[in-house]
Amino acid sequence: MEVWILQLFNGISVSSILLLVALGLAVTFGLMNVINMAHGELIMIGAYTAYVVQHAFLAYAPKASFDWYFVLALPLSFAAAAFVGWLMEIGLIRFLYGRPLDSLLATWGVGMVLQQAARSVFGAPNVAVTSPSWLNGGLDIGSGLVLTYKRLFIIALVLAVLTAMYFYIYRSRAGRNMRAVMQNRDMAACLGVSTRRVDAASFAIGAGIAGVAGCALSLLGPIGPSLGTYYIVDAFMVVVLGGVGKLIGTVVGAAGIGITSTMFESWTSASLGKVLVFALVVAFLQWRPRGFVAMKTRALDGQ
Protein backbone atom coordinates (compact mmCIF):
# COMPACT_ATOMS: atom_id res chain seq x y z
CA MET A 1 0.00 0.00 0.00
CA GLU A 2 2.71 2.47 1.02
CA VAL A 3 4.63 1.54 -2.09
CA TRP A 4 1.65 2.44 -4.19
CA ILE A 5 1.16 5.80 -2.53
CA LEU A 6 4.83 6.59 -2.94
CA GLN A 7 4.72 5.46 -6.59
CA LEU A 8 1.70 7.64 -7.21
CA PHE A 9 3.35 10.61 -5.53
CA ASN A 10 6.50 10.08 -7.58
CA GLY A 11 4.41 9.80 -10.72
CA ILE A 12 2.51 12.98 -9.96
CA SER A 13 5.73 14.73 -9.10
CA VAL A 14 7.38 13.71 -12.38
CA SER A 15 4.21 14.67 -14.23
CA SER A 16 4.18 18.08 -12.60
CA ILE A 17 7.75 18.78 -13.71
CA LEU A 18 6.98 17.59 -17.23
CA LEU A 19 3.87 19.73 -17.25
CA LEU A 20 5.75 22.80 -16.07
CA VAL A 21 8.33 22.30 -18.83
CA ALA A 22 5.66 21.57 -21.44
CA LEU A 23 3.26 24.42 -20.58
CA GLY A 24 5.43 26.94 -22.36
CA LEU A 25 5.47 24.66 -25.38
CA ALA A 26 1.69 24.44 -25.24
CA VAL A 27 1.72 28.09 -26.24
CA THR A 28 4.64 28.27 -28.68
CA PHE A 29 4.18 24.84 -30.27
CA GLY A 30 0.55 24.08 -29.46
CA LEU A 31 -0.99 27.41 -30.31
CA MET A 32 1.55 29.09 -32.57
CA ASN A 33 2.86 25.96 -34.29
CA VAL A 34 6.48 27.01 -33.93
CA ILE A 35 8.86 24.24 -32.98
CA ASN A 36 11.06 26.09 -30.57
CA MET A 37 14.08 23.89 -30.01
CA ALA A 38 15.59 26.68 -27.92
CA HIS A 39 12.88 26.04 -25.33
CA GLY A 40 15.38 24.06 -23.28
CA GLU A 41 17.75 27.03 -23.31
CA LEU A 42 14.96 29.34 -22.14
CA ILE A 43 14.53 26.94 -19.22
CA MET A 44 18.25 27.22 -18.64
CA ILE A 45 17.97 31.03 -18.62
CA GLY A 46 15.31 30.79 -15.91
CA ALA A 47 17.50 28.51 -13.83
CA TYR A 48 20.53 30.78 -14.15
CA THR A 49 18.38 33.77 -13.23
CA ALA A 50 17.53 32.02 -9.96
CA TYR A 51 21.25 31.43 -9.47
CA VAL A 52 22.10 35.09 -10.08
CA VAL A 53 19.32 36.35 -7.81
CA GLN A 54 20.54 34.04 -5.08
CA HIS A 55 24.06 35.42 -5.37
CA ALA A 56 22.78 38.98 -5.35
CA PHE A 57 20.92 38.22 -2.11
CA LEU A 58 24.04 36.71 -0.58
CA ALA A 59 26.04 39.80 -1.47
CA TYR A 60 23.65 42.66 -0.80
CA ALA A 61 20.64 41.61 1.28
CA PRO A 62 20.58 41.11 5.03
CA LYS A 63 21.24 37.53 6.01
CA ALA A 64 17.83 36.95 7.53
CA SER A 65 16.03 37.68 4.27
CA PHE A 66 18.02 35.16 2.22
CA ASP A 67 15.25 32.58 2.28
CA TRP A 68 12.97 34.93 0.38
CA TYR A 69 15.25 35.22 -2.64
CA PHE A 70 13.17 32.58 -4.35
CA VAL A 71 10.05 34.72 -4.20
CA LEU A 72 11.88 37.36 -6.21
CA ALA A 73 13.62 34.83 -8.46
CA LEU A 74 10.35 33.43 -9.85
CA PRO A 75 9.06 36.64 -11.48
CA LEU A 76 12.57 37.62 -12.57
CA SER A 77 13.06 34.23 -14.26
CA PHE A 78 9.80 34.78 -16.08
CA ALA A 79 10.89 38.26 -17.15
CA ALA A 80 14.37 37.22 -18.27
CA ALA A 81 13.19 34.28 -20.36
CA ALA A 82 10.26 36.26 -21.75
CA PHE A 83 12.62 39.02 -22.82
CA VAL A 84 14.91 36.60 -24.64
CA GLY A 85 11.85 34.95 -26.19
CA TRP A 86 10.58 38.33 -27.33
CA LEU A 87 13.95 39.12 -28.92
CA MET A 88 13.88 35.75 -30.68
CA GLU A 89 10.40 36.40 -31.99
CA ILE A 90 11.06 39.83 -33.43
CA GLY A 91 14.50 38.86 -34.73
CA LEU A 92 13.93 35.42 -36.20
CA ILE A 93 10.70 33.53 -35.58
CA ARG A 94 8.47 36.10 -37.28
CA PHE A 95 10.11 35.29 -40.60
CA LEU A 96 9.46 31.60 -40.17
CA TYR A 97 5.73 31.34 -39.41
CA GLY A 98 4.17 28.58 -41.45
CA ARG A 99 7.51 26.83 -41.94
CA PRO A 100 7.73 24.68 -38.81
CA LEU A 101 10.60 22.52 -39.98
CA ASP A 102 12.66 25.59 -40.78
CA SER A 103 11.80 27.12 -37.44
CA LEU A 104 13.01 23.91 -35.83
CA LEU A 105 16.43 24.19 -37.45
CA ALA A 106 16.82 27.91 -36.84
CA THR A 107 15.79 27.74 -33.18
CA TRP A 108 18.12 24.81 -32.68
CA GLY A 109 20.86 27.16 -33.84
CA VAL A 110 19.70 29.81 -31.38
CA GLY A 111 19.73 27.20 -28.64
CA MET A 112 23.30 26.25 -29.45
CA VAL A 113 24.46 29.85 -29.33
CA LEU A 114 22.65 30.44 -26.01
CA GLN A 115 24.16 27.30 -24.53
CA GLN A 116 27.65 28.32 -25.57
CA ALA A 117 27.02 31.81 -24.19
CA ALA A 118 26.00 30.34 -20.83
CA ARG A 119 29.10 28.20 -20.90
CA SER A 120 31.34 31.22 -21.33
CA VAL A 121 29.53 33.34 -18.73
CA PHE A 122 28.92 30.77 -15.97
CA GLY A 123 31.49 28.12 -16.91
CA ALA A 124 30.90 24.63 -18.24
CA PRO A 125 30.53 22.79 -14.90
CA ASN A 126 27.19 22.70 -13.14
CA VAL A 127 26.56 25.22 -10.39
CA ALA A 128 24.58 24.58 -7.23
CA VAL A 129 21.65 26.66 -6.08
CA THR A 130 20.83 26.62 -2.37
CA SER A 131 17.13 26.13 -1.89
CA PRO A 132 15.36 28.31 0.65
CA SER A 133 15.29 26.63 4.06
CA TRP A 134 11.48 26.62 4.22
CA LEU A 135 11.51 24.09 1.40
CA ASN A 136 13.80 21.62 3.13
CA GLY A 137 12.33 18.58 4.78
CA GLY A 138 9.06 16.96 3.96
CA LEU A 139 5.59 16.07 5.03
CA ASP A 140 5.59 12.85 7.05
CA ILE A 141 2.37 10.98 6.37
CA GLY A 142 3.17 8.01 8.54
CA SER A 143 4.74 4.59 8.05
CA GLY A 144 7.96 6.04 6.74
CA LEU A 145 6.43 7.96 3.83
CA VAL A 146 7.80 11.45 3.36
CA LEU A 147 6.52 13.78 0.69
CA THR A 148 9.26 16.36 0.24
CA TYR A 149 8.20 20.00 0.41
CA LYS A 150 10.12 20.80 -2.76
CA ARG A 151 8.05 18.40 -4.82
CA LEU A 152 4.86 19.59 -3.15
CA PHE A 153 5.87 23.17 -3.87
CA ILE A 154 6.44 22.36 -7.55
CA ILE A 155 3.03 20.72 -7.77
CA ALA A 156 1.50 23.85 -6.24
CA LEU A 157 3.49 26.05 -8.60
CA VAL A 158 2.25 24.08 -11.62
CA LEU A 159 -1.33 24.48 -10.43
CA ALA A 160 -0.78 28.21 -10.03
CA VAL A 161 0.78 28.62 -13.48
CA LEU A 162 -1.97 26.51 -15.01
CA THR A 163 -4.68 28.62 -13.38
CA ALA A 164 -2.99 31.83 -14.47
CA MET A 165 -2.71 30.55 -18.03
CA TYR A 166 -6.32 29.46 -18.03
CA PHE A 167 -7.49 32.88 -16.99
CA TYR A 168 -5.17 34.59 -19.43
CA ILE A 169 -6.09 32.47 -22.44
CA TYR A 170 -9.78 31.87 -21.84
CA ARG A 171 -10.94 34.74 -19.66
CA SER A 172 -8.99 37.84 -20.68
CA ARG A 173 -9.26 40.10 -23.66
CA ALA A 174 -5.60 39.56 -24.58
CA GLY A 175 -6.11 35.81 -24.47
CA ARG A 176 -9.18 36.06 -26.67
CA ASN A 177 -7.19 38.04 -29.21
CA MET A 178 -4.49 35.42 -29.02
CA ARG A 179 -6.88 32.55 -29.72
CA ALA A 180 -8.51 34.56 -32.50
CA VAL A 181 -5.18 35.20 -34.21
CA MET A 182 -4.13 31.56 -33.94
CA GLN A 183 -7.41 30.29 -35.32
CA ASN A 184 -8.00 32.74 -38.13
CA ARG A 185 -5.28 35.26 -38.58
CA ASP A 186 -6.81 37.19 -41.47
CA MET A 187 -10.19 37.53 -39.84
CA ALA A 188 -8.64 38.67 -36.58
CA ALA A 189 -6.58 41.25 -38.45
CA CYS A 190 -9.72 42.52 -40.22
CA LEU A 191 -11.35 43.04 -36.85
CA GLY A 192 -8.53 45.25 -35.69
CA VAL A 193 -6.30 42.88 -33.76
CA SER A 194 -2.63 43.68 -34.21
CA THR A 195 -1.48 40.19 -35.12
CA ARG A 196 2.18 41.16 -35.03
CA ARG A 197 1.93 42.26 -31.42
CA VAL A 198 -0.16 39.26 -30.44
CA ASP A 199 2.44 36.93 -31.98
CA ALA A 200 5.28 38.60 -30.13
CA ALA A 201 3.38 38.66 -26.83
CA SER A 202 2.31 35.02 -27.11
CA PHE A 203 5.80 33.84 -27.86
CA ALA A 204 7.21 35.89 -25.00
CA ILE A 205 4.65 34.37 -22.59
CA GLY A 206 5.52 30.86 -23.71
CA ALA A 207 9.19 31.65 -23.21
CA GLY A 208 8.50 33.20 -19.81
CA ILE A 209 6.75 30.05 -18.61
CA ALA A 210 9.83 28.11 -19.64
CA GLY A 211 11.82 30.49 -17.44
CA VAL A 212 9.55 29.73 -14.47
CA ALA A 213 10.10 26.03 -15.12
CA GLY A 214 13.85 26.61 -15.05
CA CYS A 215 13.58 28.47 -11.76
CA ALA A 216 11.65 25.53 -10.29
CA LEU A 217 14.17 23.02 -11.63
CA SER A 218 16.94 24.84 -9.76
CA LEU A 219 15.30 23.53 -6.57
CA LEU A 220 15.83 19.94 -7.61
CA GLY A 221 19.52 19.85 -8.29
CA PRO A 222 22.56 21.57 -9.76
CA ILE A 223 22.06 23.56 -12.95
CA GLY A 224 24.26 23.70 -16.03
CA PRO A 225 24.31 24.88 -19.63
CA SER A 226 22.68 21.67 -20.88
CA LEU A 227 19.93 21.64 -18.24
CA GLY A 228 17.12 22.20 -20.72
CA THR A 229 18.16 19.56 -23.23
CA TYR A 230 17.32 16.80 -20.74
CA TYR A 231 13.69 17.82 -20.72
CA ILE A 232 13.04 19.15 -24.18
CA VAL A 233 12.17 15.96 -26.06
CA ASP A 234 9.99 14.66 -23.23
CA ALA A 235 8.18 17.98 -23.23
CA PHE A 236 7.51 17.78 -26.97
CA MET A 237 6.22 14.24 -26.49
CA VAL A 238 3.83 15.55 -23.86
CA VAL A 239 2.38 18.09 -26.26
CA VAL A 240 2.14 15.57 -29.12
CA LEU A 241 0.46 12.99 -26.88
CA GLY A 242 -1.92 15.48 -25.37
CA GLY A 243 -2.91 17.09 -28.61
CA VAL A 244 -2.36 20.56 -29.84
CA GLY A 245 -4.28 23.70 -29.06
CA LYS A 246 -5.92 23.01 -25.71
CA LEU A 247 -4.40 23.34 -22.25
CA ILE A 248 -6.19 20.27 -20.94
CA GLY A 249 -4.43 18.13 -23.55
CA THR A 250 -1.05 19.16 -22.19
CA VAL A 251 -2.18 18.25 -18.66
CA VAL A 252 -3.38 14.83 -19.80
CA GLY A 253 -0.20 14.25 -21.80
CA ALA A 254 2.05 15.14 -18.87
CA ALA A 255 0.08 12.99 -16.45
CA GLY A 256 0.08 10.08 -18.89
CA ILE A 257 3.81 10.16 -19.62
CA GLY A 258 4.84 10.99 -16.06
CA ILE A 259 2.81 8.30 -14.32
CA THR A 260 3.39 5.52 -16.86
CA SER A 261 7.12 6.17 -17.02
CA THR A 262 7.55 6.03 -13.23
CA MET A 263 5.50 2.82 -13.20
CA PHE A 264 7.48 1.17 -15.99
CA GLU A 265 10.77 2.30 -14.54
CA SER A 266 9.98 0.75 -11.18
CA TRP A 267 8.93 -2.53 -12.82
CA THR A 268 11.79 -2.78 -15.30
CA SER A 269 14.88 -0.61 -15.59
CA ALA A 270 15.13 3.06 -16.48
CA SER A 271 16.26 2.34 -20.04
CA LEU A 272 13.64 -0.32 -20.75
CA GLY A 273 11.00 1.89 -19.15
CA LYS A 274 11.75 4.63 -21.70
CA VAL A 275 11.39 2.17 -24.58
CA LEU A 276 8.05 0.98 -23.24
CA VAL A 277 6.75 4.54 -22.84
CA PHE A 278 7.79 5.36 -26.39
CA ALA A 279 6.12 2.22 -27.74
CA LEU A 280 3.01 3.17 -25.81
CA VAL A 281 2.98 6.69 -27.27
CA VAL A 282 3.28 5.30 -30.83
CA ALA A 283 0.53 2.78 -30.03
CA PHE A 284 -1.63 5.56 -28.65
CA LEU A 285 -1.18 7.55 -31.86
CA GLN A 286 -2.61 4.58 -33.77
CA TRP A 287 -5.79 5.16 -31.88
CA ARG A 288 -5.82 8.96 -31.77
CA PRO A 289 -3.36 10.30 -34.36
CA ARG A 290 -3.94 13.91 -33.33
CA GLY A 291 -3.31 13.36 -29.66
CA PHE A 292 -5.70 13.05 -26.77
CA VAL A 293 -7.49 16.35 -27.15
CA ALA A 294 -7.45 17.76 -30.64
CA MET A 295 -9.00 20.93 -31.92
CA LYS A 296 -11.99 20.05 -34.03
CA THR A 297 -11.44 21.12 -37.58
CA ARG A 298 -12.88 20.32 -40.96
CA ALA A 299 -9.73 21.33 -42.79
CA LEU A 300 -8.27 18.52 -44.86
CA ASP A 301 -4.84 18.73 -43.35
CA GLY A 302 -5.90 19.66 -39.88
CA GLN A 303 -4.39 22.45 -37.82
Partner 1 sequence: MLSKGTGLGRRIPKPWLLAAYGVAVVLLLIAPMFLSDFRLNLLSKFLAFAILALGLDLLWGYTGILSLGQGVFFGVGAYSMAMYLKLEATGGKLPDFMSWSGIDKLPAFWAPFGSFGFALAAAIALPALLAFALGWFTFRNRVRGVYFTILTQALVIIAVTLFVGQQGYTGGTNGITSFKTVLGFSLSDPNVKTALYYITAAVLIGSFVLCRWLVSTRLARVLEAIRDGENRVRFFGYDPAVFQSFAFALSGAFAGLAGVLFVFHVGIISPSMMGIVPSIEMVLWVAAGGRGTLIGAVVGTLALNWSKSLISEAYPDGWLIFLGALFIVVVVFLPRGLVGLFGSAVDFIRRRGKRHDRIPYRPVVPEGERQL
Residues of this chain that bind partner 1 (CB under 8 A): 33, 35, 92, 95-96, 98-106, 108-113, 115-116, 119-120, 229, 233-234, 236-237, 240, 269-272, 274-275, 278, 281-282, 285-286, 289, 300-301, 303
Least distance to partner 1, CB of residue 262, Å: 15
Residue closer to partner 1 by CB (options 61, 90) is 90
- Hey, what amino acid is at 7? Q
Least distance to partner 1, CB of residue 63, Å: 38
Residue closer to partner 1 by CB (options 57, 203) is 203
Residue closer to partner 1 by CB (options 68, 95) is 95
Residue closer to partner 1 by CB (options 27, 129) is 27
Residue closer to partner 1 by CB (options 98, 144) is 98
Tally Cβ neighbours within 10 Å of residue 297.
12
Least distance to partner 1, CB of residue 191, Å: 24
Least distance to partner 1, CB of residue 48, Å: 18
Least distance to partner 1, CB of residue 119, Å: 7
